[in-house]
């Protein structure tokens, strides 16, 4: 069989530890035998980040902006223990944080559904994708511990000296105060990313805040979403046969539990933090989750939602067999290959991505799976395999499908 030819290169961002090992296996077994891979390679492994003073991460982000599609392996975010372990020059920032800031993106996470791994919520038949705003709110707050009686005021001094003030509370006793903020520009690009993503996957978009209570702060979110929708997306949504639905956050939560899925749920920062963990655990596992960073101008970076699986890596280094789940990393590759195929109008690449995902799911549905899934599956005839064994089983199915 002739290999599939590409037009534009993919930006490939290599990573760390066990996922770096899986990365190599996936490329060798599932990508290179079938595609004449054109990739611009950036090594985001910690040693290379250290060697380049993290310039490699910046270069990779710029390459994604240039080419439009990247695929990223999980990477270590250094903490003091990692600085020591790798003898780092400094405690570099999270590569995902750097990429997110440079691409001004929103992260979309969706569960990968497969027979035999059943969601705890019976009526969830289709995936629910969470889009989390990743700027401001309680994550960038200012807080004061109030020691005793006194008056708390909210004060804004404009650059020209004009002062706006509002009383918060007359304290008669000890308590706490919190100040939070957000930016119209950030909310607007979050809204655009969500509308663009919903259009891309042709699913309804839900958004919710508590604007009945927070009449200025949350209302700003509601209104910016509404304006962006009316001015930029309404026609395209109608054309695609999808809807934009706004409601209160408590109503959204109640409806999520009753729906059958197949929608994108845009969440404010804190809501997204809480509800993405709820969804991923209710759907099964972080290793069965796709994750893509989408910039408002339409750049896509695909990755796995989980980390570098450090504990498995140390087992691997000690020469022991590992049974690490590569599904999320395989889907990062298939997502990037499909998107590249769509942008370059190469149906062969799109078909390959579809087959790769189908082969992965069918492998699990036939009972061949890694340990994490074997522990929770409802299938009775289970064949637990090691990391490479799973990828080879997927390759067999893939060859049949192609
Ligand atoms: P982790 O890599 O997500 O792993 C936590 C635990 O979850 C593992 O020990 C394993 O449980 C299970 N697990 C996660 N992914 C799995 C998979 N693919 N297959 C099987 N089991 C899986 O989180 P971590 O160990 O806390 O973090 C390790 C490093 O990853 C850190 O340095 C962190 O900075 C980095 N990180 C990177 C990203 C990213 O780049 N996207 C995201 C999060 C964390 P058992 O040990 O019980 O088998
Ligand atoms: Mg969280």
Ligand 1 atom closest to the CA of 371, numbered from 1 = 20
Pocket test for ligand 1, best of 307, 364, 377 (most atoms within 8 A of CB): 307
Ligand with smallest separation from the Cα of 280: 2
Cα 256 to Cα 123, 125, 130, distances in angstroms: 10, 12, 11
Residue 35, strand partner residues: 4
Whole-number pLDDT of residue 374:
95
Contacts of 90 (CB under 8 A, 6+ apart): 83
Residue range 255-265: mean pLDDT, rounded:
97
Query: For a substitution probing ligand 1, which of 95, 284, 309 has the most ligand atoms within 8 Å of its CB?
Result: 309
What pLDDT sits at residue 213? 97
For residue 1, pLDDT over 80 is answered with: no
- Tell whether domain 1-111+289-402 is in CATH 3.40.718.10: yes
pLDDT at 285: 82
At 8, list the tokens.
């534009």
Q: Is 369 in the pocket of ligand 1 (CB under 6 A)?
A: no
Does the pLDDT value for residue 113 go beyond 80?
yes
- For residue 75, report the distance from its CA to the centre of ligand 1, in Å: 10
Fold match between domain 1-111+289-402 and domain 119-137+181-283: no
Give the mean pLDDT of the chain.
Answer: 95
* Mean pLDDT of the 263-281 span: 91
Measured CA angle at 57 (ends 52, 63), to 5 deg: 120
**Alpha carbons 399 and 402: distance in angstroms, whole number:** 5
Question: What is the reported pLDDT for 104?
Answer: 75
Give me 356's structure tokens.
């790769």
pLDDT attached to residue 102: 85
Helices (H), 231-309: 234-240, 249-258, 269-283
State the burial class of residue 141 (Cβ atoms within 10 Å of its Cβ: 0-12, 13-18, 19+).
exposed
Residues 6+ apart with CB under 8 A from 19: 73, 74, 304, 306, 307, 308, 309, 329
Average pLDDT of span 379-383: 95
Residue nearest to atom 7 of ligand 1 (CA): 309
Say which ligand is closest to the CA of 79. 1
Class of domain 119-137+181-283: alpha beta
Does the C-beta of 356 come closer than 6 Å to ligand 1? no
Percentage of the residues of the chain whose pLDDT score is greater than 70? 100
Is the per-residue pLDDT at 97 higher than 90? no
User: Using one digit for the tens of pLDDT, what is the confidence trace for 156-214?
Assistant: 999 999 999 999 999 999 999 999 999 999 999 999 999 999 998 999 999 999 999 99
- C-beta of 20 in contact with ligand 1 (< 6 A): no
74 in ligand 1 pocket by Cβ < 6 Å? yes
| The pLDDT of residue 112 is above 80 | yes
Query: Is the distance from the beta carbon of residue 294 to the nearest atom of ligand 1 less than 6 Å?
Result: no
User: Which range, of 121-125, 168-172, 296-300, averages the lowest pLDDT?
Assistant: 296-300
Report pTM.
Answer: 0.88
Provide the pLDDT for residue 305: 85
Average pLDDT for residues 93-107, to the nearest whole number?
Answer: 85
Tell me what the mean pLDDT of segment 269-297 comes to.
87
Q: Which ligand is nearest to the CA of 271?
A: 2
Average pLDDT over residues 341-345: 97
CB 45, CB 105: distance < 8 Å: no
Residue 325 is encoded by which pair of tokens? 């789940």
For 146, half-sphere exposure in the C-beta direction (CA atoms, 13 angstrom radius) is 17
* Ligand number, closest to the Cα atom of 44: 1
Strands 204-209, 263-267: pairing kind: parallel
The ligand that comes nearest to the alpha carbon of residue 332 is 1
Nearest C-alpha neighbor of 180 from the set 143, 134, 212: 143
C-alpha 288 to ligand 1 mean position (Å): 13
Nearest-CA residue for atom 26 of ligand 1: 307
Whole-angstrom CA distances from 127 to 53, 120, 203 are: 39, 13, 10
pLDDT of residue 103: 85
pLDDT at 106 over 90: no
Query: Does the beta carbon of 372 lie inside 6 Å of ligand 1?
Result: yes
User: Is the CB–ligand 1 distance for residue 8 below 6 Å?
Assistant: no
Ligand 1 pocket check for 368: Cβ under 6 Å: no
Q: Which of 85, 98, 280, 308 to mutate to test the pocket of ligand 1 (most atoms within 8 A of CB)?
A: 308
What digits encode the pLDDT tens for the residues 206-254? 999 999 999 999 999 999 999 999 999 999 999 999 999 999 999 999 9
Alpha-carbon span 131 to 101, nearest angstrom: 16
| DSSP string covering 22-33 | HHHHHIIIIITT
Query: Ligand 1 in contact with 287 (CB < 6 A)?
Result: yes
Q: Does the C-beta of 72 come closer than 6 Å to ligand 1? A: no
Q: Could you tell me the distance, in angstroms and rounded to a whole number, from the CA of residue 181 to the centre of ligand 2?
A: 20
Q: Tell me if 286 CB under 6 Å of ligand 1.
A: yes
- Which H or E run includes 341? helix 327-344
Q: 23-75, pLDDT tens digit by residue?
A: 999 999 999 999 999 999 999 999 999 999 999 999 999 999 999 999 999 99
In this predicted structure, the answer to whether residue 281 has a pLDDT above a threshold of 90 is: no
Is the CB of 94 inside a 6 Å radius of any atom of ligand 1? Answer: no
Break the chain into its structural domains and give their ranges: 1-111+289-402, 119-137+181-283, 142-179
């Amino acid at each position: 069989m002739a290999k599939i030819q590409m037009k534009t290169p993919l930006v490939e961002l290599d990573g760390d530890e066990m996922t770096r090992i899986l990365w190599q296996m996936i490329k060798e077994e599932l990508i290179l035998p079938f595609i004449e891979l054109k990739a611009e390679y950036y090594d985001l492994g910690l040693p290379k980040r250290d060697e380049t003073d993290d310039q490699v991460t910046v270069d990779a982000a710029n390459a994604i902006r240039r080419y439009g599609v990247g695929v990223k392996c999980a990477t270590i975010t250094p903490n003091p223990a990692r600085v020591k372990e790798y003898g780092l020059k400094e405690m570099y920032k999270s590569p995902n944080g750097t990429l997110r800031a440079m691409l001004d993106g929103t992260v979309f996470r969706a569960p990968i559904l497969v027979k035999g791994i059943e969601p705890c919520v019976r009526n969830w038949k289709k995936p629910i994708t969470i889009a989390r705003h990743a700027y401001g709110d309680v994550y960038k707050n200012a807080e004061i511990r109030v020691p005793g009686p006194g008056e708390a005021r909210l004060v804004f001094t404009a650059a020209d000296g004009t002062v706006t003030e509002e009383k918060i509370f007359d304290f008669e006793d000890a308590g706490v105060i919190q100040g939070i903020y957000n930016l119209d520009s950030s909310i607007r690009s979050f809204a655009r990313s969500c509308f663009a993503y919903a259009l891309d996957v042709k699913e309804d978009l839900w958004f919710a805040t508590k604007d009945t209570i927070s009449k200025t702060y949350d209302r700003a979110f509601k209104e910016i979403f509404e304006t962006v929708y009316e001015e930029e997306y309404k026609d395209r949504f109608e054309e695609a046969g999808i809807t934009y639905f706004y409601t209160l956050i408590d109503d959204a939560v109640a409806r999520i539990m009753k729906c059958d899925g197949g929608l994108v749920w845009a969440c404010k920062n804190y809501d997204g933090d809480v509800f993405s963990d709820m969804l991923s655990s209710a759907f099964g596992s972080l290793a069965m989750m796709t994750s893509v960073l989408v910039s408002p101008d339409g750049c896509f970076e695909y990755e796995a939602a989980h980390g570098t699986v450090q504990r498995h890596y140390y087992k691997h280094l000690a020469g022991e067999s590992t049974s690490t789940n590569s599904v999320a990393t395989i889907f990062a590759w298939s997502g990037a290959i499909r998107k590249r195929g769509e942008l370059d109008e190469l149906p062969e690449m799109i078909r390959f991505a579809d087959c790769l995902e189908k082969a992965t799911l069918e492998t699990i549905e036939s009972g061949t799976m890694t340990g994490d899934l074997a522990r929770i599956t409802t299938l009775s005839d289970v064949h637990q395999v090691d990391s490479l064994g799973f990828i080879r089983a997927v390759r067999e199915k893939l060859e049949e499908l192609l």
